[in-house]
Chain A
C-alpha cells in the first residue's frame, strides 16, 4: 500500500506576476470599454447603495434592486454600443436627466418589490398555515374521541373521563397473553 503523504497540501498563491497581469488586463479592458464602464457605474449606483445598506441575511434587498436596476441600465448600454461608443456619447447619456430618472425608477421598483412582496407572501402563508393547523386540530379531536386520552400520551391518572373499570381493563390488558383460538367452524359466525 502506498504511503499517503501527510504533508499539508500547499495552496498555490497567485504569484505577483499573475496579479500584475490580471490588474493590467482589467485596466486594459477599463480603458478599452471606458464609455460602457462609465454608464454602468453611474447607472448601478442604486444597487451599490442597496448593497451597502442591506442588512438582510442573503442580501435580498440588493438582489431585488440589482435585477431591476440592470433592467433600467441595459437599454442605455445598447444605445451607447449602437452609437459611436466613445466617451462623449457616454457622457451625454449619463448627463441626461431622463436617463437618471429611468435608472432610479427601475431601482425604486426593485425596492418596492423588496419591501412589499414578502409581506404579501407571509400573509398568504400564515393564512394557509392557520387553516392547516385547524384541520390538524380537528383530526386530533377525532383521534382523542376514537382512542381516548391515552392517545395524547397522558397517563391513566389524568383520565377523568375513564371510569375505574376501564382503567382496570387497560391495566390488565398488558399482561394478558393472546387467547387461544377456538375452532373456527363455530366461531366464523361471530
Chain B
C-alpha cells in the first residue's frame, strides 16, 4: 500500500522551463482522505436522525435543519450488491472495466469502479475492500485519482 501512495505522490514532473507541474489530482476534493496511509471514504452522519450519507451533504434531507451533520469516515469493507462490465467505455476510459454498487455497514449503497473486470471473479454478496488509485488519464496525461473497490480474497 505504502508503495502505491508513493507512486501516485511522485507523479509530478518538470516541464521544459523547469517549472513543477502537478500531474495528478483527485477526482473531487473531500470524497476520501488523500494522501493517507489508511484512506477511507468521507461521509456525513446526522446527529439527530443518525442517517449516514456519502458523499457529505449540505443538509440532512430528512431533518432539514442546520448543523446536524457531522463528518464520518466510512468502513473500508463492504459487500457487492450488483455489478456490470463495460466492454465499450466513454471518452477517457479504457475498457474493459467493471462498476457496481457496494453496501457499507453504515447503511449506504454506493457506486464504485471495481478493480476486477473478470466476470468469473465477481459475485453478488462477496466482500469488497476500498482502494485509492488512478482511475483514468486525461488527454494531456494527468492522472485522475479516485476510489475503487477490490474483491477480498
Partners in one complex: no
Residues of A participating in the B interface, judged by any CB pair closer than 8 Å: none
Residues of B participating in the A interface, judged by any CB pair closer than 8 Å: none
